[in-house]
Amino acid sequence: MNFVPCDECALRQLARFKRFSAPELAYVKALKSGQIELPARQTIIEPGAYDDRLYTLYSGWAFRYRLTSEGQRQIIEVLLPGSLIGLQQLMLGHSDSGVESLTPVTLCVLSGRTLKQLFVQFGDLSDAMVLALMEDQRRGDTRLALVSRLPAPARLAYFLLELFDRLVALDMVKGDWCYFPLQRRHIADLLGLSDTHVSRSMKELRQRHLASIDSSSLSILDRRQMTAFSGYMMPEKHAPRLLL
């Protein structure tokens, strides 16, 4: 992919993201130091490592994960275009989580050294960053509650609806269908299930004519019934999200 200037970024045209003033956009353009492309299954951030760069996921899918004390991977978040990667390691000096590409990705490389100017000079942008972090934390907290409360099929249904709505906001769905590169092992890691439970849950959702996952695609067959089955609640309308 050719280098994409910030003022020509297709993501900025989406209602999901905050509109920038001319000075704000000039600041973000100065932050961007490059653009890189990585294949699937490539490490973007290593757990425990430090890098003074930030990344914005411009295209593709990735995921954030942690390693357990036994060295096993636990996926904690699916990252979609517009996600900011590397803030924790920049602010704390290290990261207790890693990030890996799920599909081929394009990353905008940002200079973390000048990020503090955002908090000093651009109050609206710093507020938007805090709101985005709170939104992500709320989504993660909800998922943790689901792990202990819902049976496996309902847990999967909730996650699929949540992810589908995130994709809707990014204009990445076609009707009731979307691209879905997550494999069973990824879903198992994310929802605290075994591969067998994921397979059985996928089969049950299909038999109930709620959703179907097949050949890297997800189809929501009956959203109303799927919502009732999982107890899913569409999130409140959020303020436009910060895109660096």
pLDDT in tens, the chain (244 residues): 778 888 888 999 998 888 888 888 888 888 888 899 999 999 998 887 777 788 999 999 999 998 877 777 889 899 999 998 887 766 665 678 899 999 999 999 987 666 667 777 777 777 777 777 777 777 777 777 766 688 999 999 999 999 999 999 999 999 999 999 999 999 999 898 999 999 999 999 999 999 999 989 999 999 999 999 998 887 766 678 888 8
Residues 39 and 113 in one domain: yes
Residue 235: inside a domain = no
Residues 112 and 13 in one domain: yes
Domain of residue 187, CATH code: 1.10.10.10
**Domain stop point among 117, 135, 156:** 117
**Domain stop point among 117, 134, 161:** 117
Residue 243: inside a domain = no
Residue 132: inside a domain = no
Judge contact between 60 and 10, C-beta under 8 A: no
Residues 70 and 156 in one domain: no
- Side by side, which strands form the sheet with 62-67? 43-45, 98-101, 62-67, 73-79
Structural domain of 48: 6-117
Judge contact between 174 and 168, C-beta under 8 A: no
Residue 37: inside a domain = yes
**Domain stop point among 97, 117, 137:** 117
Model's pTM, two decimal places? 0.90
